[in-house]
Homo-oligomer: A and B are copies of this chain.
Amino acid sequence: MSKLTDVPKRILIGRALRSDKLGETLLPKRIALPVFASDPLSSVAYAPGEVLLVLSVAGVSAYHFSPWIAVAVVVLMFTVVASYRQNVHAYPSGGGDYEVATTNLGPKAGLTVASALLVDYVLTVAVSIASGIENLGSAIPFVVEHKVLCAVAVIVLLTLMNLRGVKESGKLFAIPTYVFVAGVFIMIAWGAYRGLVMGDTMKAPTADYTVRAEHQGLAGFALVFLLLRAFSSGCAALTGVEAISNGVPAFRKPKSKNAASTLALMGALAVTMFCGIIALAMSTHVRMAEKPGEDLLHNGTPLGSGYVQNPVISQVAEAVFGNGSFLFIVLAAATALVLFLAANTAYNGFPLLGSILAQDRYLPRQLHTRGDRLAFSNGIVLLAGAAVLLVVIYGADSTRLIQLYIVGVFVSFTLSQTGMVRHWNRHLATERDPAKRRRMIRSRAINAFGAFFTGLVLVVVLATKFTHGAWVALLGMVIFYGTMTAIRKHYDRVSEEIAAPDEPSDDSVRPSRVHSIVLVSKVHRPTLRALAYAKLMRSDQLEALSISVDPAETKALKEEWERRGINVPLKILDSPYREITRPIIEYVRGLRRESPRDAISVFIPEYVVGHWYEHLLHNQSALRLKGRLLFTPGVMVTSVPYQLESSEAAKKRARRRADWNAPGSVRRGPVSRPKEPSNKS
């Protein structure tokens, strides 16, 4: 199967895996960490900045609250990580929050979680790409000058890659993620060394600016509200934590234990980086504002609308490493890359969740088929379209997009943790072993605290961000929820309609005989083949049927029929208005009226061609006829294909498509219970 053209691809992404070998690709922890954590780790590129941005509303003096907000985020992160370690142990099948909520709280809670996650996948793409573009822009000004264009271009690129089915290997994720993590840690360490040991004064490029407070001297409730808003923005660092709970099956054994340790490691890395960046931002006097053009002043005059505010991480890197230095460039590139990888994770998560939802008949059934290219394509295009829409509407401004973010994540956190509490309650009702009961009670306490805390954060996020954009996210959730409910209702109605009656052979009038009709236009190979096949089927009656649209052609057909001595009666229907479909339908209806207990079998010779434009030149009448025949009761329609030479090309393309590998399979792990494909009857 290996071809010359495969060589560059093999070099790029490793030897193509036979799908029954997928079981061998389980992830060791050192690869699982970057594969799953690019989303939460990358969020430290924008989360600290958002905190400072919100605080600046009350002036630079409010910046001194930022360590407290960092502490709150750290506590939240520990809570969430601890909670999800319980999930991972209790639900090792990888169903994630949707499974936990559905099992323990019922299908409506599950569907709510699913809607929230779908919205959040869209936002992960939009926010990560916008932020990646901003980070790239701190090194390459062109990018930031054409923000929307570049963001859309990156989304299109990612979409094409995922549609083509580039199978990311773990290494593809590992290198930029580790470079990014190492870069941030080196920055924090070198900054601490320079500041604390050498006593250097490091100055961020914005250190000399002053911030005009929109609300000077905020106090009381207003101040608390502002701090809560800053905290909400900082919570962006939490997104993507649930990814590991979806990916347990992809880990090496012991799966749950390894997943839990990876989760803990990820949490530790994320909070360290988050706090380190906040600390460096404080000591290098980074100044940020929600409206930088108006509210940032240099020597008392506003910087004007032309001013571009660089992300905190790049300002800090500039202060620590120096502008344009090698490490500065490397960190900017790694940051952008890890953010694009984070966006890419949504391209995997969205169709995967879709496939699980399809299994529960909330989405079209065909999405259920694993690695089905068409199903993936639909999901990917939907995701990309929604993300592009958001990016264009919000001008690829990560700060404005973040207002929409997080709602979904915290809906899902809260419901999942609440579900876990129910889970332990149920198990405690039957469990008698005191050691196990102790562990369960401990887990329940963790999950209960997690549910309480994440629920609180959800309320805070909704309260502080609703008018800033969270309503858009809620609207998206409602749309997903409504659509999926409608689809499920449709399937339920149909499944009731088609349920087999309990008494066998209750079906009103069972056909007793079959009358076969072969449609004929000329005597050529496809017709002869259709006739031969129809004869094989030994129906009770067999006739050939032709529509006369041109008397000369009809005459020629009749003569040819006789000359060849074809032993099937040929019936000819006149159609003075050159219609094909109507006379056939009427003829079939007539047959049914005459003998209602007969079934009619219509054989249509069909051409199989290689290109879509060739398809336009053939079979169109047959297709339309078939469409109409399907509405006529008591009819079955048989296509007898005749493969034209040009169909060889299409056959090869189809084979290539069959060898296609779904993107994201690395994260998903093998399907439960992989077996050697075997036939049993």
Q: Which residues of A contact B (CB under 8 A)?
A: 19-20, 22, 364-366, 368-372, 374, 487, 490-491, 494-495, 497-501, 504, 507, 510-514, 523-529, 532-533, 536-539, 549, 551, 564-565, 569-583, 587, 599, 601, 603, 606-608, 614, 616-618, 620-621, 624, 626-631, 633, 635-645, 647, 650-651, 654, 658, 671, 673-675, 677-681
Instruction: Say whether A365 contacts B500, CB under 8 Å.
Output: no
Most chain B CB within 10 A, of A369, A501, A528, A651, is at A369
Contact with A578, one of B369, B551, B587 (Cβ below 8 angstroms): B369
CB<8 Å pairs between A and B, sample of 15: A369-B549, A369-B580, A370-B578, A491-B617, A498-B525, A498-B644, A499-B524, A500-B524, A511-B533, A514-B537, A533-B601, A537-B538, A574-B680, A603-B636, A628-B654
Instruction: Say whether B641 contacts A638, CB under 8 Å.
Output: no
Instruction: Say whether B533 contacts A645, CB under 8 Å.
Output: no
Given contacts A369-B621, A533-B599, 13 further A-B contacts (CB under 8 A): A20-B576, A22-B577, A365-B617, A370-B578, A507-B532, A512-B536, A514-B536, A573-B677, A574-B677, A575-B677, A608-B630, A630-B641, A638-B638
Whole-angstrom distance between the alpha carbons of A642 and B372 in the complex?
26
Contact with A574, one of B642, B643, B675 (Cβ below 8 angstroms): B675
Whole-angstrom distance between the alpha carbons of A524 and B494 in the complex?
11
Residues of chain B contacted by A618 (CB below 8 angstroms): 365, 494
Whole-angstrom distance between the alpha carbons of A189 and B524 in the complex?
67
Q: Contacts A504-B564, A564-B504 known; A578 to B671 CB distance under 8 Å? A: yes
Q: Contacts A498-B526, A678-B574 known; A641 to B636 CB distance under 8 Å? A: yes
Instruction: Say whether A641 contacts B635, CB under 8 Å.
Output: yes
Residues of chain B contacted by A504 (CB below 8 angstroms): 564-565
Q: Within the complex, what minimum Cβ distance (angstroms) separates A675 from chain B?
A: 5
Residues of chain B contacted by A629 (CB below 8 angstroms): 641
The residue in chain B whose Cβ has the minimal distance to the Cβ of A619 is B366
Q: Contacts A513-B536, A579-B370 known; A573 to B635 CB distance under 8 Å? A: no
Q: Within the complex, what minimum Cβ distance (angstroms) separates A589 from chain B?
A: 12
Instruction: Say whether B631 contacts A371, CB under 8 Å.
Output: no
Instruction: Say whether A620 contacts B366, CB under 8 Å.
Output: yes
Q: Within the complex, what minimum Cβ distance (angstroms) separates A166 from chain B?
A: 19
Q: Contacts A495-B524, A525-B500, A638-B601 known; A617 to B487 CB distance under 8 Å? A: yes
Whole-angstrom distance between the alpha carbons of A527 and B501 in the complex?
12
Instruction: Say whether A641 contacts B651, CB under 8 Å.
Output: no
Instruction: Say whether B498 contacts A658, CB under 8 Å.
Output: no
Instruction: Say whether B574 contacts A679, CB under 8 Å.
Output: yes
Q: Within the complex, what minimum Cβ distance (angstroms) separates A21 from chain B?
A: 11
Instruction: Say whether B621 contacts A365, CB under 8 Å.
Output: yes
Q: Within the complex, what minimum Cβ distance (angstroms) separates A332 from chain B?
A: 41
Whole-angstrom distance between the alpha carbons of A527 and B630 in the complex?
16
Whole-angstrom distance between the alpha carbons of A633 and B640 in the complex?
10
Instruction: Say whether B639 contacts A626, CB under 8 Å.
Output: yes
Instruction: Say whether A637 contacts B636, CB under 8 Å.
Output: no
Instruction: Say whether B638 contacts A366, CB under 8 Å.
Output: no
Residues of chain B contacted by A491 (CB below 8 angstroms): 617
The residue in chain B whose Cβ has the minimal distance to the Cβ of A603 is B636
Residues of chain B contacted by A365 (CB below 8 angstroms): 617-618, 620-621
Instruction: Say whether A366 contacts B578, CB under 8 Å.
Output: no
Contact with A370, one of B564, B565, B577, B681 (Cβ below 8 angstroms): B577
The residue in chain B whose Cβ has the minimal distance to the Cβ of A587 is B679
The residue in chain B whose Cβ has the minimal distance to the Cβ of A537 is B537
Residues of chain B contacted by A645 (CB below 8 angstroms): 497
